[in-house]
């Protein structure tokens, strides 16, 4: 499902331009021409990001940010405003805006910034989950207990740290240096054999056949990848 964007601006030309930019990035748009309409939309619908002008005629965009944050709505907000004073940008960011762009803007830059904010927000939401599910594997982050098809997998401290890293980042390739930093710390010298030992131990506990692993696979010359 496409991410949903709420575009709030009293200028119909700007609304149309932003709508085209968002649609070109495969994002679904809802348009609001004033603050009152935006507040109604935010009350009745969920969005993944809000693109917000400050001067809206019936109210200032700052009021919308204040309302959202007071109501516990954590949806990212990108302010796109013709007001380019430092005070305005600093004030907007202090209220909880995630970015502040001044008009006129480059459409390609706005599109890239929106996608970057959405990626960061998705990653943050993923990290804050108490239960992470990856295929047949489950991690309860509050207890650091691991399960495969509902049956608990008993892991050592280092095995738990290693498997947690993989579960949080499925399909990502981890080099040996990256694993050093994540599991042992950057100031600790660990040889390749130590990593191989823990990878093999983990495979022995999660793979159907540790000699023919299908979940923790070796990327030759680079490192390892977890495939759910």
Residue 187 in this model has a pLDDT that exceeds 90: no
pLDDT band at residue 2, thresholds of 50, 70 and 90?
Answer: confident
The encoded tokens of residue 152 equal 């608990």
CB 225 within 8 A of CB 217: yes
pLDDT value at residue 190: 58
Question: Residues of the chain with pLDDT > 70: what percent?
Answer: 96
Whether 182 has a pLDDT exceeding 70, the answer reads yes
pLDDT tens readout for residues 12-71 = 999 999 999 999 999 999 999 999 999 999 999 999 999 999 999 899 999 999 999 998
Phi, psi (rounded to 5 degrees) for 218: -85, 130
Fold of 4-128: Rossmann fold (3.40.50)
Task: Provide the 3-class DSSP secondary structure of residue 202.
Answer: helix
Which CATH number is correct for 131-226, 3.40.50.720, 3.30.70.20, 1.10.10.10, 3.30.830.10?
1.10.10.10
d(CA 46, CA 30): 11
CB-CB contact of 202 with 216 (8 Å): yes
Cα–Cα distance list, 181 to 64, 93, 184 (Å): 42, 33, 6
In the prediction, which pLDDT does 124 show?
Answer: 79
Domain boundaries defined on the chain:
4-128, 131-226
For residues 181 and 57, give the distance between their C-alpha atoms in angstroms, rounded to a whole number: 52
pLDDT in tens, 87-116: 999 999 999 999 999 999 999 999 999 999
% of the chain with per-residue pLDDT over 90: 76
The pLDDT, as a whole number, for residue 40 is 95
Confidence of residue 122 (pLDDT cuts 50, 70, 90): confident
The dihedral region occupied by 7, where left means phi > 0, alpha psi between -120 and 50, and beta the remainder, is beta
pLDDT in tens, 128-174: 778 889 999 999 988 899 999 999 999 998 899 999 999 999 999 99
Asked whether 50 and 75 are in contact (CB, 8 A), the reply is yes
Specify the pLDDT at position 186: 57
CA 6 to chain centre: 18
Cβ–Cβ < 8 Å for 176, 223: yes
């Amino acid at each position: 499902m496409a991410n949903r964007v709420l575009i709030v601006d009293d200028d119909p030309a700007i609304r149309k331009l932003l709508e085209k930019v968002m649609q070109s990035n495969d994002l679904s748009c809802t348009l609001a021409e004033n603050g009152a309409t935006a507040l109604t939309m935010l009350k009745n619908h969920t969005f993944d990001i809000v693109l917000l002008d400050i001067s809206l005629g019936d109210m200032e965009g700052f009021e919308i940010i204040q309302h959202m944050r007071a109501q516990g709505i954590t949806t990212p907000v990108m302010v796109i405003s013709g007001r380019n004073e430092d005070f305005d940008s600093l004030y907007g960011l202090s209220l909880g805006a995630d970015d502040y762009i001044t008009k006129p803007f480059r459409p390609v830059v706005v599109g890239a910034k929106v996608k970057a904010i959405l990626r960061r927000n998705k990653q943050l939401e993923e990290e804050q989950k108490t239960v992470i599910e990856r295929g047949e594997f489950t991690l309860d982050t509050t207890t650091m207990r691991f399960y495969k098809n509902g049956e608990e997998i008993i892991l050592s401290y280092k095995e738990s740290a290693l498997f947690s890293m993989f579960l949080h980042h499925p399909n990502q390739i981890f080099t040996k240096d990256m694993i050093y930093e994540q599991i042992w710390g950057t100031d600790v010298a660990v040889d390749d054999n130590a990593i191989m030992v823990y990878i093999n131990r983990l495979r022995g506990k999660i793979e159907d056949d540790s000699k023919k692993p299908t979940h923790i696979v070796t990327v030759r010359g680079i490192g390892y990848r977890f495939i759910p």
